[in-house]
Structure 1
Amino acid sequence: MSLARKLRTRMQQREIIVVPGIYDALSAYRTEAAGFEAVFASGSSLAATHLARPDIGLLSLTETSEIVGRITERISIPLLVDVDQGFGNDYTVARTVRLFERAGVAALQMEDQLEVKAADAPLSRPLVGTETMVGKIKAARDALVDQDIIISARSDAMSSEGFGAAMDRAHAYAEAGADMIFVESLTRREQMEELVRQLGGHVPLLHNLLRCDDEVTDATIVEEIGYSVALFPAVTLSAVGQALDDSLGALKAKPRLNESGLKADRIGAAEYLK
């Protein structure tokens, strides 16, 4: 069974899938070793770790697909990849899908933000029209060779157009062929419950757990509401960032050796030392 088919089948079960965010082969490998069923590579994590810059469209399609290929080569669990806006128009979306399919991903997450944003507001979230996003979803679906690969459609309409518009877009994206729906910025439980009432019986739903001040911060509650996937996109990057600050701060204060380096079992060295 392919990893895409495995993930698709697993999403039909009642128990929620907890998916940590990762940023390279090592973080993905350690996440699998910790017992998680799938991992997620976000654009923000890849930009932070490979460029030390924010997620403002600086990583190219080919750069991202190369990074992803190194990740999938080292793990045996499904990888969900953030492909931003598909890196362009419908034709670019089709090429994006083909490259990532060859890289071994199980799922692709595409959003309805504009690809090119104002230079003075690179972190803003202006949206493409609903029909434009619908066209991209259809282009992605048509470009797949393996139809088990999951197309997850993300909408950022909640932030700029409100809840009603976000629900309208979610319906349109599901009807266009999206296999999973992710409405970003649903901060209250009642909003999440309404999305489940409207779409939960038709398509799996994903919820993003990123901000501690949101009403729902526990995957068990996300499951109770009726979602299929609980995404923790920043968990590994946050941990590593804090560990770097702590270790380097300690070394600067007292420059002596406290660690002997990366333990061999953390990278599966035993596989090569038989």
Structure 2
Amino acid sequence: MADPALRRALAERRFIVAPGVFDMISARVADGMGFACLYGTGFGVVASHLGLPDAGLATYTDMVGRMGRIAQGCRTPLIADADTGYGGLLNVRETVRGYEVAGISGIQIEDQEVPKKCGHTPGRRVIPAEEMALKIRVAVEARRSPDFLIVARTDARTSLGLEEAIRRGRLYGEAGADIVFVESPESEAEMIEIGRQLGPRWPLLANCVEGGRTPILPARRLQEIGYAIAIYPALGFLAAAAALERAYAHLKARGDSNGLPAEASYGFGRICELMGFPEVWEFERRWAQDRPAEG
């Protein structure tokens, strides 16, 4: 079931900073750090699971399995990317039901045409706004718990301009979305305008992508201009890729891992603890004494 803590945090106007998680190691690390929410990044999950670009190549089955495992392995509420809902209205209904049953606390659905593309890459096209509004209405009706949040994203800014993106955000909010997400504003001034027009009625989500199309503003500033959530979907996998490249380069150059700086490695003991080995060892110790003797 969806975690009510996320809706409660929004109602209490507590600003939410959500790191992007893309596999169980990143999820376990983030889960232990006291964040109010985690964000299941489609880009990162597709990259880590399939080794493919975030270009509509992953299926519902791919994503609900991976996102559900992350949700079930963490105590922190998870909002998960669900692309376009993986099809038409019936697909959206089944996607919402599947994500909710999987233990996810919120689902993000966007108004791109199929196949979709990453929101900070070129060539994105959007479906008619009224069609997307129907998807949101279906999503709201399909959920079993009101604590399961519907995030409606529009990608209209890049191809159709800010005014149309704001119109769509308003339309999706009126259709029942709990959180409105205008993707890829290109300046702080545009973000201020989004906050001015939409922020008084709906919690707004800012997508903070290092090297992306949108300026990354401090949390306090985002809250001042009307935003409620800031997601950092790429931070984890960008950092992980850089760390892996440095470690593997060291191995290639030396032929062994000796001399690798301590800060460059998580440590085998620490990763065992993170993955839950102490509980396994305690289980085995406790039951070993009751195991019947052989022979």
- Between stretches 59-68 and 85-94, larger displacement belongs to 59-68
Provide the residue aligned with 2:281 in structure 1: 273
Q: What letter is aligned with 1:228?
A: A
Provide the residue aligned with 2:73 in structure 1: 74
Q: What letter is aligned with 1:13?
A: E
| 1:202 paired to 2:201 | yes
- Between stretches 251-260 and 234-243, larger displacement belongs to 251-260
| Structure 2 residue ranges without an equivalent (≥5) | 259-264, 283-295
Q: How many residue pairs are counted as aligned between the two chains?
A: 270
User: Residues 252 and 216 from structure 1, CA distance in 2 versus in 1: closer, same or farther, beyond 3 angstroms?
Assistant: closer
User: Residues 216 and 55 from structure 1, CA distance in 2 versus in 1: closer, same or farther, beyond 3 angstroms?
Assistant: closer
- Please give the alpha-carbon distance, in whole angstroms, between the structure 2 residues aligned to 1:168 and 1:234: 28
1:56-71 correspondence runs (5 A): 56-71=55-70
Provide the residue aligned with 2:90 in structure 1: 91
- Please give the alpha-carbon distance, in whole angstroms, between the structure 2 residues aligned to 1:272 and 1:138: 45
- Please give the alpha-carbon distance, in whole angstroms, between the structure 2 residues aligned to 1:79 and 1:7: 9
TM-score (norm 1): 0.93
- Displacement after TM superposition at 1:85 (Å): 0.3
Provide the residue aligned with 1:227 in structure 2: 227
1:1-274 correspondence runs (5 A): 3-116=2-115, 124-212=123-211, 214-258=214-258, 261=268, 263=270, 264-274=272-282
- Displacement after TM superposition at 1:24 (Å): 1.3
- Please give the alpha-carbon distance, in whole angstroms, between the structure 2 residues aligned to 1:124 and 1:262: 45
| Contact kept in structure 2, 1:4 and 1:150, CA below 8 Å | no
**Which digits, 9 at most, give the CA deviation of each residue in 1:113-162, with x for residues without a partner?**
001369xxx96211000011001001111111112200000011100000
- Please give the alpha-carbon distance, in whole angstroms, between the structure 2 residues aligned to 1:117 and 1:239: 25
User: If you compute each CA radius of gyration, which structure gives the higher value, 1 or 2?
Assistant: 2
Q: Root-mean-square deviation (CA), in Å?
A: 1.9
- Please give the alpha-carbon distance, in whole angstroms, between the structure 2 residues aligned to 1:201 and 1:109: 21
TM-score (norm 2): 0.86
| Contact kept in structure 1, 2:166 and 2:198, CA below 8 Å | no
Q: What letter is aligned with 1:116?
A: P
- Displacement after TM superposition at 1:219 (Å): 2.2
Between 1 and 2, higher relative CO (CA 8 Å, sep ≥ 6) is seen in 1
- Displacement after TM superposition at 1:14 (Å): 3.2
- Please give the alpha-carbon distance, in whole angstroms, between the structure 1 residues aligned to 2:179 and 2:232: 17
| Contact kept in structure 1, 2:83 and 2:116, CA below 8 Å | no
- Between stretches 75-84 and 38-47, larger displacement belongs to 38-47
- Displacement after TM superposition at 1:174 (Å): 0.4
**Percent of aligned pairs with the same residue?**
36
SS, match of residue 108 in structure 1: strand
- Displacement after TM superposition at 1:251 (Å): 0.3
SS, match of residue 273 in structure 1: helix
- Displacement after TM superposition at 1:67 (Å): 0.8
- Please give the alpha-carbon distance, in whole angstroms, between the structure 2 residues aligned to 1:240 and 1:251: 16
- Please give the alpha-carbon distance, in whole angstroms, between the structure 1 residues aligned to 2:235 and 2:197: 30
Q: What letter is aligned with 1:255?
A: G
Provide the residue aligned with 2:291 in structure 1: none
User: Residues 20 and 166 from structure 1, CA distance in 2 versus in 1: closer, same or farther, beyond 3 angstroms?
Assistant: same
SS, match of residue 28 in structure 2: helix
Q: What letter is aligned with 2:125?
A: P
SS, match of residue 55 in structure 2: coil
- Between stretches 37-46 and 175-184, larger displacement belongs to 37-46
SS, match of residue 3 in structure 2: helix
- Please give the alpha-carbon distance, in whole angstroms, between the structure 2 residues aligned to 1:18 and 1:101: 22
Q: What letter is aligned with 1:84?
A: D
SS, match of residue 231 in structure 1: strand
- Between stretches 249-258 and 155-164, larger displacement belongs to 249-258
